[in-house]
Amino acid sequence: MSSSNPVLHLLFFFFFFFFSSSILNFCTSQRQTNVITSFSFSNSPWRPTQNRTLISPNSTFAAGFLPLPGSVGLYTFSVWYYNVSSDNVVWSANHRFPVSAAASLIISRSGELRLVNSSADGRNLWPFPAVGSVNGSGLSLLPTGNLVYGNFKSFAIPTDTILPGQHMNETILVSKNGRFRFDSRQLVLIGRNDIYWTNKDNSTFMSFDDRGITYGDNQIYYASDLGVQKLRRLSLDDDGNLRLYSYDMGLKQWVVVWRALFQLCMVHGTCGANAICMFDVLNASTSCVCPPGYRKGVDDSCELKIQIRDLGRSNFLRLEFVNFTGGLNQSDIKTTNFSTCKARCLANPNCLGFMFKYDGSNYCVLQLERMFDGYWSPGTETVMFLRVDESETDVSNFTGMTNLMETTCPVKISLPIPPPESGTTTRNIAIICSLFAAELLSGAYFFWTFLKKYIKYRDMARTFGLEVMPAGGPKRFSYAELKDATNNFSNPIGKGGFGVVYLGKLGDGRVVAVKSLKNITGGDADFWAEVTTIARMHHLNLVRLWGFCAEKGSRILVYEYVPNGSLDQFLFQTVEVGLESSLETAELVGSKSKPILDWNIRYRIALGVARAIAYLHEECLEWVLHCDIKPENILLGDDFCPKVSDFGLAKLKKKEDMISVSRMRGTPGYMAPEWTRPEQITSKADVYSFGLVLLEIVSGSRNFSQLDSKVESDQWFFPRWAFDKVFKEMNVEDILDPRIKHTYDSQEHFDVINRMVKTAMWCLQDRPDTRPSMGKVAKMLEGTIEITEPKKPTIFYLDD
Ligand SMILES: *[C@@H]1O[C@H](CO)[C@@H](O)[C@H](O)[C@H]1NC(C)=O
Ligand SMILES: *[C@@H]1O[C@H](CO)[C@@H](O)[C@H](O)[C@H]1NC(C)=O
Ligand SMILES: *[C@@H]1O[C@H](CO)[C@@H](O)[C@H](O)[C@H]1NC(C)=O
Ligand SMILES: *[C@@H]1O[C@H](CO)[C@@H](O)[C@H](O)[C@H]1NC(C)=O
Ligand SMILES: *[C@@H]1O[C@H](CO)[C@@H](O)[C@H](O)[C@H]1NC(C)=O
Ligand SMILES: *[C@@H]1O[C@H](CO)[C@@H](O)[C@H](O)[C@H]1NC(C)=O
Ligand SMILES: *[C@@H]1O[C@H](CO)[C@@H](O)[C@H](O)[C@H]1NC(C)=O
Ligand SMILES: *[C@@H]1O[C@H](CO)[C@@H](O)[C@H](O)[C@H]1NC(C)=O
Ligand SMILES: *[C@@H]1O[C@H](CO)[C@@H](O)[C@H](O)[C@H]1NC(C)=O
Ligand SMILES: *[C@@H]1O[C@H](CO)[C@@H](O)[C@H](O)[C@H]1NC(C)=O
Ligand SMILES: *[C@@H]1O[C@H](CO)[C@@H](O)[C@H](O)[C@H]1NC(C)=O
Ligand SMILES: *[C@@H]1O[C@H](CO)[C@@H](O)[C@H](O)[C@H]1NC(C)=O
C-alpha cells in the first residue's frame, strides 16, 4: 500500500496549501489582495461581490463595482477618486442599467471585454460593442482617471463629470437624474429641450486643468482658488447647475470654485407650470410657490383657482420682481405705454399675463398659453401682471419692494451741526442722545409711518409714470457732461484705492459724487457689463450708482452723494499717523469735529452694513465680493443711515491680480488671513473684515492702533483680548469707546453691545468655513438667532 502514500501526501499537501492560503487570504488586508493595477484574462471574471479594486498608478483613482445608492443588490461599474470619501464617483459604465450581484466583467480568451448581468443572461451590456485588447494589455486606469482597454477610453464617453485634462470635444454630460444636459456650449432641460444657459460668447467648453483654469475655444474661466493644484471635477449636478469643484483635504469635502449659474431658480424645470421659484438665501435652496389666484396642482405646478369666465374683463394681479422666462411667446412687443401692453393681453384669449418694465423702454412681453420657469429675484427689473378672473379676491403678496426696503433707517433724523469751534463732545452727545430718545418714542408707530410714506412715494412715482424701482440701467454720461457737472473736476471730496472722488451737480439738480477710476483695464464692453451689474444692486444701505462714463480712456462712475462722510471720521477722531488713505480723506474733507455716535446709532450702522453686504453676497444675481470693507468705505447719510460704497469695483480690477502675489486687494489691517495663504477667497473674507469693523464700531479705535496703548506682550491681539473680555471675564465695558463709555447703561445697551462683540468674534475666526455667512451675521446682530461661544480668534498680523 505504499502507492497510496504519495496520494495521501499529495492530498495532505493540497489541503494544507488550500487551508493556509485561505488563512493567508483572510489575514492579509482586503486591500492588498484585492487591489489590482490591471484586469486581464488571467484574473477574469470580476464579480461585484469580489471587493476588487483597480487603481491608477499613483492611487488617485480607482475603478470597480459599486453598490448603487438607494437600491439593494444592484451595482454599477464605476471610476472614483480613491482617497475621497464622498461624491467621489466620476464615471460609470452602466449607471442607467445597473447589474445584479450575479453579474461579471469578463475578458475572454480572445481578449474581448464584456459586462454580463448573469451567466444565464449572457447579453453584453458594456462596452457596446464589446472591444478587443490591443497587444494583450489589460483594462487599466491611467493616472488621469481615464479607464482604457484597447481602443476604449472612458474619457470619450463622460457621464455627468469631467476631470482635469479631459477633453470635451463632441461629448455631452447628462445629470445623474437624467433631466439636464450640457453639450459643451449650453445647458439644456432635456424634457422640454429648453436651453437655460449658454456659455459666454457662445464659446465651446474644452477642458480644465488641476490648477483651476477652464478653457473654451475663445474663453477662459478662472476658479476662485485659481493656481492651487487640487483634485478637481466639473459636474452637471442633479439641480441642473454646472459646477467646478475642488477637494479640500483638510475639510474632507468638495468646495464649489466656479459655477455656471448663480441663481438656482434660473435653471429651467426647477418648478412646474405657473409656479414661482423662490431662492432661500440662508440655506441656498429653492422652493416652488404658487402665485396669487393659483393653487397647487400636480408635480410642483399650479393651476388657476377660478377659471376665467369673461376674458375681456379679467383682472390683473401685480407681482413684483417676478419673471416667467419659459413662456411660449417671449417676443418683446414694443408698446407705447402700460395701457397698450395690457390691452394687447386682454385682446388675446391665450394671454395668461404680461410683463412690463417701468423704465421707459416700452418693454412688454405677453405670456401666451403657458407660463414656465417663473422666479422671484430682486435682480429682476420686470413686473409681472397675472390674468385672473374678475371675481378673484386674492391679494398679491409678491411685493418684493417692502422686503428690499427693509433697512435700518426707518425714521429720518437730521444731523446736528457740530459747534464751529469748541468741539464740546458732551454737547454733541446730548444732541444725539435726545434725537435718539425721540426716535425710540416714535419707534412704536414707525412701521405705520414707514408704510404710509412708502405708499405715498409709490403713488407719487406712479403719477409720474415711473416706478421707484426697478429703474432702468445706469445712464451713460459724456465726459463733457461730467466735466461740466464737477466744474472741471475742481472739488475733490475724497480719495480711495480706486481713484479720486469729486463733488458734482447734474443738470437736473442732483448732487453726485463722481469717481474717476484708475488702473482699470478691459474693454468698453466689459466695463459696461460690470457697471450694469453694479447698478442693478438696489439696497438702501448701498450707495446708489447712477451712471458712468467710458470715453477717451477714462473710466468714471457717478454715484449718489452721501453727505456725511465716512464712518472712520466719526469713529477715530484723533489724527492717525501711518494710515495713508484716512489721512488723505481727512485732508480733503477737512477734519471738522464730528459728533460722537451714540450706541443706538452704532448698532444701526452695524446692522445696516451687515444687511447690505448680505444682500451683495446672497441676494444678487451675480456673486459679488466687496473685498474691501473698512470704515472708510462706509458712508453715512444725512440721518446717519449707513451706505456701503465701492462694492463691485474689485471685479473691475485686472484678472491677473488674482493670480500674482499682488492678488491681495483689501487694505492691510482689515484683510482676512486667507489672503496671505494659497487659498480660495470666498465671501467669508468680507465677513472677516466686517468683524474687525464691528469691533472698531464698539471700541472707537483702530484694531491695530490699540497696540501701543494696551500692549502687554507681543502676543497681544485686540480680537483675542476682546474675546476674553466678553466670554471669559463677562466684562464688555472695558472694550467700549472711552469717549462715550459714560453713556453706557448696562440695562439698556448691554444686549446690543454684547451681541455686536460676540458676532465679531464669530466673524474673526481664522478658518473661513467656521465664520458665519453674512446673512447669518445680520441675523445674529438682529438677535433672531442665538450666538454660541466661538473659538478664540488666533493671532493674525499682516505686516505692511
Ligand atoms: C467586501 O467588503 C465589505 C466591506 O469591507 C464586506 O462587508 C464584504 O463582506 C466584503 N465582501 C467580500 C466578498 O469579501
Ligand atoms: C499621478 O501621476 C501623474 C503622472 O505620473 C502625475 O502627473 C500626477 O501629478 C500624479 N498625481 C498625484 C496626485 O500624485
Ligand atoms: C491617499 O491616501 C494615502 C493615505 O491616506 C496617502 O498615502 C496617499 O498619498 C494618498 N494618495 C493621493 C493620490 O492623494
Ligand atoms: C440585472 O439583473 C437584475 C436582477 O435580475 C435586474 O434587476 C437588473 O435590471 C438587470 N440589469 C440589466 C441591465 O438587465
Ligand atoms: C502594440 O505593439 C506595437 C508593436 O509592438 C506597438 O508599436 C504599439 O504601440 C503597441 N500598442 C499599444 C497600444 O501598446
Ligand atoms: C479632442 O480635442 C483635442 C484637442 O483639440 C484633441 O487632441 C483630441 O484628439 C480630441 N479628441 C477627440 C475624441 O476628438
Ligand atoms: C453657437 O455656435 C454654434 C456652433 O458654432 C452654432 O450652431 C450656434 O448657432 C451658435 N449659437 C449662437 C446663439 O450664436
Ligand atoms: C431651508 O430653509 C427653509 C425655511 O427657512 C426650510 O423650510 C427648508 O427645509 C430648508 N432647506 C434645507 C435644505 O435645509
Ligand atoms: C425675463 O425673462 C426673459 C426671458 O427669458 C429674459 O429675456 C429677460 O431678460 C428677463 N428679464 C429680467 C429683467 O431678468
Ligand atoms: C409671438 O408674438 C409675435 C408678436 O405678437 C407674433 O408675431 C408671433 O407670431 C407670436 N409667436 C407665437 C409662437 O405665438
Ligand atoms: C397709451 O398709448 C396709446 C396709443 O399710443 C394712447 O392712445 C393712450 O392715450 C396712451 N395712454 C396713456 C395713459 O398715456
Ligand atoms: C404668498 O403667499 C403664499 C401662500 O400663503 C406663500 O406660499 C408664498 O410664499 C407667499 N409669497 C411671498 C413672496 O411671500
Q: Is residue 614 part of a domain?
A: yes
The binding site for ATP comprises: 515
Residue where a domain terminates, one of 112, 137, 156 = 156
- Nearest ligand 9 atom to the CA of 323 is 1
Q: Picking from 37-46, 241-250, 399-408, 751-760, which range would have the lowest pLDDT averaged per residue?
A: 399-408
Nearest to 44 by CA among 164, 134, 133: 133
Please tell me whether residues 252 and 292 are part of one structural domain: no
233 and 295 together in one domain? no
Domains of the chain: total? 6
Q: Is 393 in the pocket of ligand 1 (CB under 6 A)?
A: no
> Do 751 and 717 reside in the same domain of the chain?
yes
Query: How far does residue 176's CA lie from ligand 7's centre (Å)?
Result: 26
**From 225, 237, 373, 628, the catalytic residue:** 628
Do the domain assignments include residue 594?
yes
Ligand 8 centre to CA of 284 (Å) is 9
Cβ(398) to ligand 12 under 6 A?
A: yes
Residues 6 or more apart in contact with residue 122 via CB below 8 angstroms: 116
Distance (Å) from CA 303 to ligand 9 centroid: 23
In a domain, 416, yes or no: no
Q: Do 556 and 573 sit in the same domain of this protein?
A: no
Ligand 4 site-directed mutation target among 76, 77, 92, 99, most atoms within 8 Å of CB: 99
Proximal ligand: closest to the CA of 344: 10
- 98, 130, 156: which is the final residue of a domain? 156
User: Would you say residue 1 lies in a domain?
Assistant: no
153 lines ligand 5 (CB under 6 A): no
169 lines ligand 6 (CB under 6 A): yes
83 with 187, same domain: the answer is: no
Helix/strand/coil percentages in the chain, nearest 5 = 30, 25, 45
For ligand 6, mutation pick of 168, 169, 217 (most atoms within 8 Å of CB) = 169
Give 592's pLDDT tier (boundaries 50, 70, 90). Answer: low
Hey, whose CA ends up nearest to atom 4 of ligand 4? 100
User: Which residues lie below 8 Å from residue 521, measured CB to CB, with a gap of 6+?
Assistant: 654
**Does residue 575 or residue 799 have the better pLDDT?**
575
Residue list, annotated binding site: 515
Whether residues 773 and 641 share a domain: the answer is: yes
Q: Check pocket membership of 100 for ligand 4, CB cut-off 6 A.
A: yes
Does the residue 387 lie in any domain?
Answer: yes
- Read off φ and ψ for residue 558, nearest 5 degrees: -115, 115
The residue type of 719 is: P
Rounded CA separation 527/504 (Å): 22
Q: Per residue in 254-296, pLDDT tens?
A: 988 888 886 788 899 999 999 999 876 556 688 899 999 999 9
Domain stop point among 156, 188, 207 = 156
Is residue 751 part of the annotated active site? The answer reads no
Instruction: Looking at the structure, tell me whether residues 173 and 140 fall in a common domain.
Output: no
Asked if the structure places residue 39 within a domain, the reply is yes
Grid coordinates of 98: 445597473
- Please state, in angstroms and rounded to a whole number, the distance separating the CA atoms of residues 725 and 110: 78
Residues 669-697 have a mean pLDDT of: 82
For residue 580, name the pLDDT band (cuts at 50, 70, 90). Answer: very low
Mutate which of 333, 334, 336 for ligand 11? The one with the most ligand atoms within 8 Å of its CB, which is 336
For the Cβ of 156 lying below 6 angstroms from any atom of ligand 6, the answer is yes
Q: Is residue 226 part of a domain?
A: yes
For 704, the domain range is 568-782
Same domain assignment for residues 599 and 613? yes
Asked whether residue 335 carries a pLDDT value surpassing 90, the answer given is no
pLDDT digits (tens, 9 = 90+) for 186-228: 999 999 899 999 987 788 888 999 988 888 887 787 777 777 8
- For residue 465 and ligand 11, the question of a CB distance below 6 A is answered with no
Instruction: Look at residue 576 in the predicted model and tell me its pLDDT.
Output: 43
Please write the tens of the pLDDT for every residue from 765-774: 988 888 888 8
More confident residue, 703 or 100: 100
117-126, 198-207, 286-295, 404-413: least confidently modelled range: 404-413
Asked if residue 582 and residue 499 are part of one domain, the reply reads: no
In terms of domains, do 778 and 743 share one?
yes
Cis peptide before 158 (omega within 30 of 0): no
For ligand 10, atom 3, name the residue with the nearest CA.
331
Q: Whose CA is nearest to atom 13 of ligand 4?
A: 97
Q: What does the radius of gyration of the chain's CA atoms come to, in whole angstroms?
A: 32
- Give the phi and the psi of residue 298 in degrees, each rounded to 5: -85, 155
Q: Which atom of ligand 6 is found nearest the CA of 167?
A: 1
List the residue whose alpha carbon is closest to atom 10 of ligand 6. 169
Cα separation values, 586 from 494, 565, 636, 694, 695, Å: 8, 10, 15, 21, 22
Cα separation, 53 vs 61, in Å, equals 10
70 CA distance to ligand 4 middle (Å): 15
Residues 179 and 192 in one domain: yes
- Give the domain CATH number at 488: 3.30.200.20
pLDDT score for 244: 92
Contacts of 469 (CB under 8 A, 6+ apart): 401, 404, 538
Print the SS3 string covering 340-388: HHHHHHHHCCCEEEEEECCCCCCCEEEEECCCCCEEECCCCCCEEEEEE
CA distance 575 to 748: 32
Verdict on whether the full-model pTM lies above 0.75: no
Do 672 and 742 sit in the same domain of this protein?
Answer: yes
pLDDT band, residue 14 (cuts 50/70/90): very low
Ligand 2 atom nearest to CA at 56: 1
Paired sense of beta strands 180-182 and 173-174, if any:
antiparallel
